[in-house]
Amino acid sequence: MLKESFYERSVSDSAYRGERLGLVALHTLVLAVTKFYNLEVACGKVCCDNLAGLNQSSLWRKYIKTGAKQADLFRAIWTIKTNLKFSFVYEHVDSHRTDTNCGIS
Write out pLDDT tens, residues 69-103. Answer: 788 888 888 888 887 777 888 899 887 656 556 65
pLDDT at 15 over 70: yes
Give 46's contacts (C-beta < 8 A, 6+ positions apart). Answer: 23, 26, 54, 57, 58, 88, 89, 90, 91
Q: What is the pLDDT of residues 32-43, one digit of tens each?
A: 888 889 988 888
Q: Is 88 exposed, middle or buried (0-12, 13-18, 19+ CB in 10 A)?
A: middle
CA–CA–CA angle 17, 23, 27 (5° rounding): 145
The overall average pLDDT reported for the chain is: 79
Rounded distance between C-alpha atoms, residue 30 and residue 18, angstroms: 19
Is the overall model pTM greater than 0.85, yes or no? no
